[in-house]
């Protein structure tokens, strides 16, 4: 199954498609928003894009169960297709693995150990990593730096994180990355922010070193499906 499945896939919308095709260096991206606005939906769209391009995705869900995470994929894929589920399409299914962790038990070291387990036993060699639910408020910059160098070492093409921002925390970095990621914003190549605006839901590009779009550009999300609308 080719990428034609997604008429306006999010990686193409951002001009990042080539990267997962293997032509560019690895990158680290971040999707931020307040609670309940659709961070996971965006991450899953990126993941599905990667999978459809033939890349293996490891989806790490922190504080979320396996079934719930699977449902996200099925919901998004069924919106993009004629109601199909990931498990119905073996070529897509083989490119996804989900790992869930309890908030209290997750650590960078543990993730690295699990990943090495998969790779060394030749079970699964992920090329894209989705980390949903990483606690930026409790983890320091060093942990993220280590994750970034880990990504380089293991040859991962992309890591996407989600981060929860709070209305009351108004701190923001020089390049516009809000708290709690204001001090680690420089580690990310791409930072997107979901912002509701009346009846619309906008996806602001706060930062994108590799995108074809300039920072400050806004993409539109369909408020009912949370899919990225055609530019």
> Under the rule (CB under 8 A), what is the footprint of other proteins?
65-70, 90, 93-94, 97-102, 104-105, 110, 114, 117-118, 121-124
Instruction: Please list the residues that pair with 192 across neighbouring strands.
Output: 31, 205
Question: Closer to other proteins at the Cβ: 95 or 190?
Answer: 95
Provide φ and ψ at 26, rounded to 5°. -70, 155
Query: What is the nearest approach in angstroms of other proteins to the Cβ of residue 127?
Result: 16
DSSP-derived letter for residue 5 is: G
Q: Burial-class residue 2 by CB neighbours within 10 Å (0-12, 13-18, 19+).
A: exposed
Give the rounded distance of the alpha carbon of 64 from its chain centre.
15
Residues in the chain: 231
Question: Closer to other proteins at the Cβ: 33 or 100?
Answer: 100
Query: What is the nearest approach in angstroms of other proteins to the Cβ of residue 30?
Result: 24
DSSP characters for 96-130?
EEEEEE-GGG--HHHHHHHHHHHHHTTS---SEEE
Query: What is the nearest approach in angstroms of other proteins to the Cβ of residue 219?
Result: 30
Question: Closer to other proteins at the Cβ: 86 or 194?
Answer: 86
Q: Say what angle helices 39-52 and 66-80 make with each other, to 10 degrees.
A: 70
Question: Closer to other proteins at the Cβ: 99 or 181?
Answer: 99
Provide φ and ψ at 222, rounded to 5°. -75, 120
Query: What is the nearest approach in angstroms of other proteins to the Cβ of residue 34?
Result: 24
Query: What is the nearest approach in angstroms of other proteins to the Cβ of residue 40?
Result: 15
Given a contact cutoff of 8 angstroms between Cβ atoms, the answer to whether 205 and 14 are in contact is yes
Question: Closer to other proteins at the Cβ: 132 or 189?
Answer: 132
Question: Closer to other proteins at the Cβ: 114 or 229?
Answer: 114
Query: What is the nearest approach in angstroms of other proteins to the Cβ of residue 93?
Result: 8
């Amino acid at each position: 199954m080719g990428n034609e499945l997604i008429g306006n896939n999010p990686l193409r919308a951002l001009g990042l498609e080539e990267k997962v095709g293997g032509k560019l260096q690895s990158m680290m991206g971040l999707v931020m928003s307040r609670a309940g606005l659709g961070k996971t939906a965006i991450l899953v769209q990126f993941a599905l894009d990667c999978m459809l391009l033939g890349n293996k995705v490891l989806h790490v869900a922190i504080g979320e169960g396996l079934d719930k995470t699977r449902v996200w994929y099925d919901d998004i894929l069924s919106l993009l297709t004629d109601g199909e589920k990931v498990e119905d399409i073996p070529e897509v299914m083989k490119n996804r693995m989900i790992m869930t962790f309890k908030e209290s038990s997750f650590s960078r070291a543990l993730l690295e150990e699990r990943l090495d387990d998969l790779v060394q036993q030749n079970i699964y060699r992920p090329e894209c990593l989705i980390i949903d639910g990483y606690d930026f408020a409790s983890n320091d910059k060093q942990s993220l730096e280590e994750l970034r160098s880990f990504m380089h070492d293991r040859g991962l093409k992309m890591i996407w994180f989600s981060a929860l921002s709070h209305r009351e925390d108004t701190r923001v970095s020089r390049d516009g990355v809000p708290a709690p990621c204001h001090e680690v914003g420089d580690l990310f190549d791409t930072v997107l922010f979901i912002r509701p605006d009346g009846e619309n839901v906008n996806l602001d590009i706060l930062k994108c070193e590799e995108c074809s779009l300039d920072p400050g550009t806004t993409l539109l999300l369909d408020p009912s499906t949370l899919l990225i609308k055609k530019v």
